[in-house]
């Protein structure tokens, strides 16, 4: 009886709402996307702007009042499906859109946290995700919410209903392909808005590529393989070859060369270029592929009209440590120059001219780096040859090369968690990790759908009291202005605001706000599970909201070796949290 009464009340409430509030529906234009960084009433791109700065001009929540932040609502991702939640939500016209583990998606009322729809992608047996069943977010364009799946599909949902409008297969999941990054929507003159996607699967010898698709149909407009020797397409016809076949790759290894574009890209409307990073060369055993192995472990600037590579910059030539070069390229302006910065897995923070890729400088952002002495004036690493894992052929039985202890570990000085840039402090906020690894090479041959590494490894901490370290970096000097250490490895992204704040979460479950200038901790809230996702902020009806997803998982518990043991006690989860100030405090 009681339950019935509650139900009746809830229905009456819903009816009242539908009479007084316009129908909730996204209608996201390409201008909304291009202007996203400046508009505070919505978040319609991954990165709070296509340049990826993750900066908000909002000041309602600031250094003086952030300690009063309270939860506005939370929603569980529910079911038996937990695992890592690495997404960034989007917000438009009173609706929040986000993805979750196991290729799921939600639309939620931003006022109440109540679910509007949920989409559960039917995953086949035998998917091959390398690093947990995560998803890093979707894209809004027109009336669609579009995201990638663990069986290497793109699915466009009706933002109003969650019903499938179109679904396209990127590639064969049985060969190791999947897609978990947020697709990137860009404006073009020739084709209208295009959706850019990459591919995951570098540990299975896939070939990395960037594809541009019609947002209306999902059909491919152009494609650009990132490995030398492969040929791109435009409007269904072959265009140019990437690089020159066999220039930096021996034999046929380029055919299964890796370079997965698994973390997606950013876009700068001033240059018309999309910036995508590329993963490790396959296999990991570098002795099998003498040469630079272009364009693996690189950043590529791609003309979004044609799919041609405008410039490339390789961070780790002939990589032997799995230093994927996928980390985000964030555009910023300084000294009258159009620059971009990227914090590499290899432990160095790079600044490039984003118009032409010219190297400006690179500095270590983690301690005790062993694999390279420094980055030379030409932008190439000066290797420590004795820190390259040995060739198995040089061992007695040919089965295991010389093992070395290398820093950083293959999970990187920084990994998938995006940094932020504040034009106020002119600092980058880089979620970094201090760890190393024992690594050795073994013989390996390519086999479809099997791990193609030729390496073994064990990750180890470097310091007793911390692995994670949030670092504030001056991009003009490489100076680390402040750092805030964390016991567990950091695996979540950063948000910075004109309120002088830096927001991020920890695997221990704390959602933190630090003073952007000093690094002093001003706020910490226990979300109940580890945070490996990316916070956002927006304003609605005069109030500023901040959201972040909580749900421990990702690559660290799976691949962290001795570090994984130190985080084995952390509980899984799956809750989207939204915070605001009590009305009285916001007014003061």
Please tell me the total number of residues recorded for the chain in this structure: 588
- The answer to whether 322 contacts Ca ion (rule: CB under 5 A) is yes
Binding segment toward Ca ion, per CB under 5 A, in 179-187, 195-203, 209-217, 333-341: 195-203
- The answer to whether 246 contacts Ca ion (rule: CB under 5 A) is no
Looking only at residues 353 through 412 of this chain, which bind Ca ion when binding is defined by CB under 5 A?
A: none
Beta bridge partners of 209: 225
| Beta carbons within 8 Å of 178's beta carbon, 6+ residues apart | 127, 128, 129, 130, 148, 149, 150, 151, 152, 199, 200, 201
- The answer to whether 416 contacts Ca ion (rule: CB under 5 A) is no
State in angstroms the smallest separation of the CB of 452 from Ca ion: 11
Percent of residues in the chain assigned helix, strand, coil, to nearest 5: 10, 35, 50
The H or E element containing residue 587 is helix 583-587
SS3 call for 387:
helix
What angle is formed at CA 154 by the lines to CA 294 and CA 113, rounded to 5 degrees? 120
State in angstroms the smallest separation of the CB of 323 from Ca ion: 8
The H or E element containing residue 334 is strand 330-334
Binding segment toward Ca ion, per CB under 5 A, in 151-159, 186-194, 197-205, 328-336: 197-205
State in angstroms the smallest separation of the CB of 244 from Ca ion: 25
State in angstroms the smallest separation of the CB of 381 from Ca ion: 17
Q: Is 42 a catalytic residue?
A: no
**Closer of 38 and 569 to Ca ion (Cβ):** 38
- CA dist list (Å): 254 to 110, 174, 238, 279, 448: 47, 20, 18, 14, 15
Q: Which position among 322, 324, 424, 465 bears the catalytic label? A: 322
- The answer to whether 36 contacts Ca ion (rule: CB under 5 A) is yes
Q: Which of 26, 34, 42, 545 binds Ca ion (CB under 5 A)?
A: 42
State in angstroms the smallest separation of the CB of 202 from Ca ion: 5
Q: Give the full edge-to-edge strand order of the sheet including 104-109.
A: 90-92, 95-100, 104-109, 115-120
Joined together, the tokens standing for residue 59 give 């000041």
- The answer to whether 319 contacts Ca ion (rule: CB under 5 A) is no
Write the interaction track for Ca ion spanning residues 249-288; mark x where CB under 5 A is met and - where it is not: ------------------------------xx--------
d(CA 311, CA 313): 7
Binding segment toward Ca ion, per CB under 5 A, in 238-246, 316-324, 445-453, 519-527: 316-324
- The answer to whether 39 contacts Ca ion (rule: CB under 5 A) is yes
Q: Which of 84, 193, 202, 281 binds Ca ion (CB under 5 A)?
A: 202
**Closer of 131 and 467 to Ca ion (Cβ):** 131
Other CB atoms within 10 Å distance of the CB of residue 382: 10
Joined together, the tokens standing for residue 391 give 């060739």
The H or E element containing residue 355 is none
The H or E element containing residue 110 is none
Binding segment toward Ca ion, per CB under 5 A, in 119-127, 200-208, 304-312, 354-362: 200-208
Joined together, the tokens standing for residue 420 give 């932020």
Question: Nearest residue by C-beta to Ca ion?
Answer: 39
State in angstroms the smallest separation of the CB of 38 from Ca ion: 7
The H or E element containing residue 85 is none
Binding segment toward Ca ion, per CB under 5 A, in 10-18, 106-114, 194-202, 306-314: 194-202
Q: Which of 324, 344, 434, 510 binds Ca ion (CB under 5 A)?
A: 324
Q: How far apart are the first and last CA of the chain?
A: 45
d(CA 65, CA 364): 35
State in angstroms the smallest separation of the CB of 341 from Ca ion: 21
Other CB atoms within 10 Å distance of the CB of residue 33: 23
108 and 114 Cβ atoms separated by less than 8 Å: yes
**Closer of 42 and 442 to Ca ion (Cβ):** 42
331 and 348 Cβ atoms separated by less than 8 Å: no
**Closer of 259 and 401 to Ca ion (Cβ):** 259
For Ca ion (CB under 5 A), the number of binding residues is 8
d(CA 60, CA 68): 12
**Closer of 45 and 85 to Ca ion (Cβ):** 45
Binding site for Ca ion (CB under 5 A): 36, 39, 42, 202, 279-280, 322, 324
Catalytic residues: 322
């Amino acid at each position: 009886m009681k339950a019935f009464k509650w139900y009746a009340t809830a229905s009456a409430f819903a009816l009242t709402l539908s009479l007084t509030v316009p129908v909730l529906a996204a209608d996201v234009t390409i201008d909304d996307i291009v202007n996203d960084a400046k508009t505070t009433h919505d978040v319609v791109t991954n990165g709070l702007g296509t340049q990826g700065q993750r900066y908000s001009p909002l000041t309602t929540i600031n250094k003086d009042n952030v300690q009063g932040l309270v939860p506005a609502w939370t929603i569980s991702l529910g079911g038996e499906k937990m695992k890592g939640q690495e997404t960034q939500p989007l917000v438009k016209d009173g609706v929040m859109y986000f993805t979750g583990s196991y290729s799921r998606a939600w639309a939620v009322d931003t006022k109440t946290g109540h679910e509007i729809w949920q989409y559960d992608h039917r995953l086949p047996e035998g998917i091959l995700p390398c690093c947990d069943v995560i998803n890093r977010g979707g894209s809004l364009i027109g009336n669609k919410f579009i995201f990638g799946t663990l069986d290497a599909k793109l699915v466009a949902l009706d933002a109003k209903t969650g019903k499938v409008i179109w679904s396209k297969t990127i590639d064969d999941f049985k060969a190791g392909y999947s897609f978990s990054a947020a697709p990137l929507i860009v404006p073009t003159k020739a084709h209208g808005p295009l959706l850019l996607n990459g591919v995951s699967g570098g540990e299975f010898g896939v070939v990395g590529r960037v594809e541009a698709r019609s947002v209306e149909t999902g059909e491919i407009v152009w494609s650009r393989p990132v490995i030398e020797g492969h040929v791109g397409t435009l409007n269904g016809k072959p265009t140019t070859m990437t690089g020159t076949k066999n220039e930096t790759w021996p034999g046929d290894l380029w055919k299964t060369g890796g370079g997965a574009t698994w973390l997606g890209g950013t876009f700068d409307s001033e240059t018309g270029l999309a910036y995508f990073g590329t993963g490790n060369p396959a296999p990991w055993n570098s002795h099998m592929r003498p040469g630079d192995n272009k364009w693996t472990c690189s950043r590529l600037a791609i003309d979004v009209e044609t799919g041609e590579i405008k410039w490339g910059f390789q961070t780790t030539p002939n990589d032997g440590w799995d230093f994927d070069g996928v980390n985000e390229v964030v555009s910023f302006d300084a000294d009258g120059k159009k620059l971009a910065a990227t914090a590499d897995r290899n432990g160095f923070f790079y600044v490039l001219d984003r118009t032409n890729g010219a190297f400006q400088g690179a500095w270590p952002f983690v301690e005790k780096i062993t694999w390279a002495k420094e980055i030379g004036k030409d932008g190439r690493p000066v290797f420590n040859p004795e820190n390259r894992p040995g060739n198995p052929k040089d061992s007695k039985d040919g089965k295991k090369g010389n093992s070395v202890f290398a820093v950083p570990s293959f999970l990187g000085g920084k990994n998938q968690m995006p940094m932020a840039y504040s034009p106020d402090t002119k600092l980058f906020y880089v979620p970094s990790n201090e760890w190393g690894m024992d690594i050795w090479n073994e013989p390996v041959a390519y086999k479809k759908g099997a791990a193609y590494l030729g390496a073994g490894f064990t990750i180890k901490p470097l310091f007793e009291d911390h692995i994670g370290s949030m670092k504030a970096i001056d991009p003009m000097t490489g100076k680390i202005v402040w750092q805030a250490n964390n016991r567990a490895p950091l695996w979540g992204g950063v948000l910075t605001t004109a309120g002088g704040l830096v927001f991020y979460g920890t695997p221990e479950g704390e959602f933190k706000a630090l003073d952007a200038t000093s690094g002093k901790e001003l706020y910490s809230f226990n979300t109940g599970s580890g945070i490996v996702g990316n916070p956002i902020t927006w304003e609605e009806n005069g109030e500023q909201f901040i959201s972040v997803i909580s749900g421990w998982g990702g690559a660290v518990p799976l691949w962290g070796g001795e570090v994984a043991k130190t985080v084995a006690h952390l509980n899984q989860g799956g809750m989207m949290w939204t915070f605001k100030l009590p009305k009285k405090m916001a007014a003061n």
